[in-house]
Amino acid sequence: MAEQTEIYDIKFLKGFIRRRKKVFITVFSVVMVAAILFSIFAPKTYVSTATFLIEGQISEEVVKGMPVGYIDERLQTITQQVLSRDKLLEIIQQYNLYGARDDQAALEVAVKKMREDVIVRTIRAEDLDKRPSPTRFNTVAFTLSYQGKDPKTVQQVTSRLASLYIEKNELAKEQYVAQTTAVLKQKADQLKEQAEILGRKLSDFKRQHAGELPDSISFNLEQIYRLNTQLEEVNSKISFLESRGKNASGTLGPVVASGSQGSGPAATDPWTHLAQLRLHLQNLKARYSEKHPDVVKTRNEIRQLEDSLGITGDQSGSSSSPGDTELKRYLKQREEIQRKIAEFTRRNQIAPLLQTEYNKLTADYDSVMKQYNDTRMKLADANVIKKMDESQMGERFYIIDQPVVPQKPDKPKPMKILFAGLFASMFCGLFASVLMENLDHSIKSAEHLQKLTKLPVLTVIPLIPNDEEDARTAGNAIAGVLTEFKIRVASLLSRWKNA
């Protein structure tokens, strides 16, 4: 392998420029010319643009609970719709784009190409009312462009697409509202049903456990208190009657207060008391009729005592006295009161146990009712929007810049191409030069030769171009003229000096 003994200095650089000047200029020119030709003859692309403003965006607070949706999403959806195969085919065939005939395959290709040629760009603006929603920028406007070969066609297509956008947007809004309304209505109905069921359950429960529920507790306590008062009254009446009855029969011992709660002294033998009562009854019956209150009362008392002593049947029914009847009545009353007290007490005892279930039923019902109310509200809002849309007050797409017939092509951009071409040419030229230089293994300087051969370079003979002699003659002539001029000036100067 040839060793690299070349010396790199200014001389070498000058030599390099001189040697590779032709290559560089050739390659440079070729690339430059190619760039120029390209910028002139490259297929021109024209672009027509329609600018849309999104008017009257409703803020979230105006229509609570129903955001109109990110405009970006909606825009994307509409774009998908507009760029659907069917729609595009329609346009392609109407304006005869991409030279596609009825050939299926060509049409497919054309649809694909058209999708690439339609450009939608959103123009964003910061949230104008400074609500704290960091992830969301309001897209306030967007542009719709179409690029193609013929200016007029491009403008027409863009116009068509623009109107499609508006159309689709209106449609989308209607659909959205309608859909939402339908959904909401359905939901409301469901909820209503549920609420009714739960309501019934609740009322059944309430009915079933009337008085046993926690909200009856205070009432029950009141009743117990009232009944206790009554009981006391009744008890005192009873004791009075019993003492009177005892007095009436004389020998009867002190009255036995049976069954009364904590009232009266300790009783004598109940059997004795029974006997006394029977005797008393006989006396009464002799004097009065069966229906006489005393008789009835006494009879009642006897019965009571018999009951408590376990004797059934009316052994001496006929011997009741009127005093007995009243007593019996009061006794019965006492029984009643006691029973009632027991009942109320029982109810209060059960209440805590029922509380949980009651709470659950109530909660369920409440929640369903709440949902139902919310839904009703949303439904109302949807109707508001519908009304607004109908009266053109809702959010809509509005074209602020109609698509025009482009005067100048968008591509190719001559300045850009020429600039790029310039750089490319220089680079290619340089690259070619360096490449040629590296491929050239000739000896370029005497030093190099010396190093390579390790022999002395005895002399260096310059390249004599064929017309060097003429150049030499010319050079001599010029030199001669200059010398003559120098002599003339010198003599003039000396003459002035001396003068």
Q: Residues interacting with other proteins, by CB under 8 A?
A: 2-3, 15, 18-19, 440-446, 449-450, 452-453, 455-464, 468-469, 472
| 104 or 459: CB nearest other proteins | 459
Which residue type occupies 355? Q
Q: Whole-number minimum distance, CB 491 to other proteins, in Å? A: 28
| 460 or 499: CB nearest other proteins | 460
The CA distance from 34 to 38, in Å, is 6
Which burial class, exposed, middle or buried, applies to 322 when counting CB atoms under 10 A from its CB (0-12, 13-18, 19+)? buried
| 6 or 117: CB nearest other proteins | 6
**φ and ψ of 445, to 5 deg:** -150, 160
Which residue type occupies 218? S
Which burial class, exposed, middle or buried, applies to 72 when counting CB atoms under 10 A from its CB (0-12, 13-18, 19+)? middle
Q: Whole-number minimum distance, CB 1 to other proteins, in Å? A: 9
Residue found by looking up tokens 């279930």 in the block = 357
| 291 or 454: CB nearest other proteins | 454
Q: Whole-number minimum distance, CB 431 to other proteins, in Å? A: 21
The CA distance from 379 to 189, in Å, is 12
| 3 or 129: CB nearest other proteins | 3
The CA distance from 229 to 305, in Å, is 24
Angle at which helix 293-309 crosses helix 323-390, to 10 degrees, equals: 80
DSSP state of 496: H
The CA distance from 141 to 125, in Å, is 9
Q: Whole-number minimum distance, CB 25 to other proteins, in Å? A: 18
Q: Whole-number minimum distance, CB 11 to other proteins, in Å? A: 10
Number of residues in the chain? 499
| 10 or 499: CB nearest other proteins | 10
| 108 or 467: CB nearest other proteins | 467
Closest by CA position to 33, among listed 25, 45, 44, 22: 25
Chain center to CA of 212: 47
